[in-house]
Amino acid sequence: MSFSVLPIRDRFGVKPGRLFIDGAWRDGGESRFDQIHPATNEVVTQLAEAGVSGVDAAVAAARRAFDKGPWRKMGARERKRLLQPVVERIYAAEEEIAYLQTLDNGMPITFSRGGRVSAKVAGDMFDHYAGWIDKITGETFPHYTDANDMHFMTFRDPVGVVAAITPWNGPVMTFAMKVAPALACGNTVVLKPSELASLAALKLADILAESDLPPGVFNLVTGGPVTGEALSTHPGVDKVSFTGSPVVGEKIYSTGGRNMKRLSLELGGKSAALVFPDTRDVRTAARNLMGLCSTFLSGQVCSTPTRALVHRSILDEFVHHAQEQVKEVRFGDPFDPATTSAPIISKRQVERVCGYIASGREQGARLVFGGDRPGGDLARGNWVNPTLFVDVDNRMRIAREEIFGPVLSVIAFDTEEEAVAIANDSEYGLSGGIYTTDLSRAFRVAREMHTGSVGINGYTVMPNSPAGGVKRSGIGREGGWSTVEEFTELKTVMLNLAA
């Protein structure tokens, strides 16, 4: 089966990427680099490496727009009026954005069109946060004593210039999760998409460029680590909102203290899903958990539960149904609706995933299936077959480190207390899952799990609910009112009416 993604590139007229700074597209950049499609390793286009000079120009534009432009002081009604047309433009461009996202990272087109990372969801997020603009309120406080003439109130001011850095695995959704609330709160933004996936972000930037936003309110720079470091450490940036690897996130955290930047960091995960013997359907639990590793982005999602903690009494049944699920996996052209799974994002990451699989075998885990790569025409792409390990000890590398590939580790447990202890024995704490019909147990275990979110008999993300991690999975929350708090500073004003 031979296929190429270049006809799709040509269909949508993908051109070399540019920078969007101070309300205009620029060809600038210190150099250019290739964006490569992971399903075939074909070069899709070239992108500008903004580098230090490009970042300086973008931050300067955002700084001017915040300090001297109208955006920060604009009335809520006017700011809302300018953002709401963006929603309709995103909806109108859904199909193109979906195809560009699949060009970016190989996500099967069915998910790009209709999944929780689709352009529709991005439009919903802009719609949600545009609706918050005239509802961002402060508080007043009652007198502490009868003789107190001081009246206390709070206001929420925008943080300032926001550096938004998005990952390759959800370029559309994370663009909206960061840019929409930041702009709604009156901030200005410099966004850098992943150097591995910039096409959908460039399209979304083009939609914002066609709006009536004042120049410099939104800016986009493309590039790799040099550009990312220049942006995250720039003294003109007041806040960094980053989604990506823990290694990079920890570096941002350590350097952010130099000028006390505000930080939101959504980093890695090694999430555990606990499958109890009273679950309504072991088959559904097994298919869901194996499917999250074998389909969609092939386990390349930080919230994916890659540790399945299964009660020993149903272990064999769980493994059987996991094997049955993998029979439905279809690799191939990501623009073919029959394709179920994405390739690994890069050759380097393929080597990393295969290294973890080798480590699992060396440390004594039992490989049930997978552990290899497909041959034939698929060999030219970055594909790794879905892999299941059992007899996994939680001290093994495959149970402790984030693999970011189609690998599920199954750990048996005997008691609820043991399961919770294993789940919490991790340096990560992004998400978790529970499969049970006992609601008392479900809420009890959910409260005991040390994670930012827990899904009971299912998991999803919505624009109006917060998501984020604890421990090495990051700090801060994205979604709902929590995001408004992240993108604003609380100011207390005291008024003496007796003066």
* Contacts of 229 by beta carbon, 8 Å cutoff, 6+ apart: 251
Instruction: Out of 80, 120, 178, 270, pick the active-site residue.
Output: 178
Q: What is residue 433's DSSP assignment? A: E
Residue 128 tokens read as 């949600």
Distance CA 131, CA 482 (A): 15
Q: What are phi and psi of 262, to 5 degrees?
A: -80, 140
Distance CA 250, CA 333 (A): 36
Q: Which of 53, 1, 64, 8 is nearest to 28 (CA)?
A: 53
Beta strands in 289-372 (DSSP E): 305-311, 366-369
Note the helical H segments in 233-266: 246-256
CA distances from 387 to 51, 274, 294 (A): 39, 19, 8
Residues 3, 42 contacting (CB under 8 angstroms)? no
Sort residue 457 into left (φ over 0), alpha (ψ -120 to 50) or beta.
left
H/E element, 291: helix 282-294
Strand partners, 435: 275
Active site residue 229: no
* Contacts of 99 by beta carbon, 8 Å cutoff, 6+ apart: 8, 11, 12, 109, 112, 335
Cβ-based neighbour number of residue 115 at 10 Å:
19
Distance CA 305, CA 101 (A): 23
H/E element, 258: none
Instruction: Out of 49, 94, 402, 478, pick the active-site residue.
Output: 478
Q: What are phi and psi of 149, to 5 degrees?
A: -95, -5
Instruction: Out of 302, 354, 402, 471, pick the active-site residue.
Output: 302
Cβ burial of 247 (10 Å; 0-12, 13-18, 19+) is exposed
Active site residue 478: yes
Active site residue 15: no
Residues 308, 289 contacting (CB under 8 angstroms)? yes
Distance CA 400, CA 405 (A): 14
Active site residue 293: no
Distance CA 180, CA 126 (A): 5
Instruction: Out of 49, 94, 266, 486, pick the active-site residue.
Output: 266
Active site residue ranges: 178, 266, 302, 478
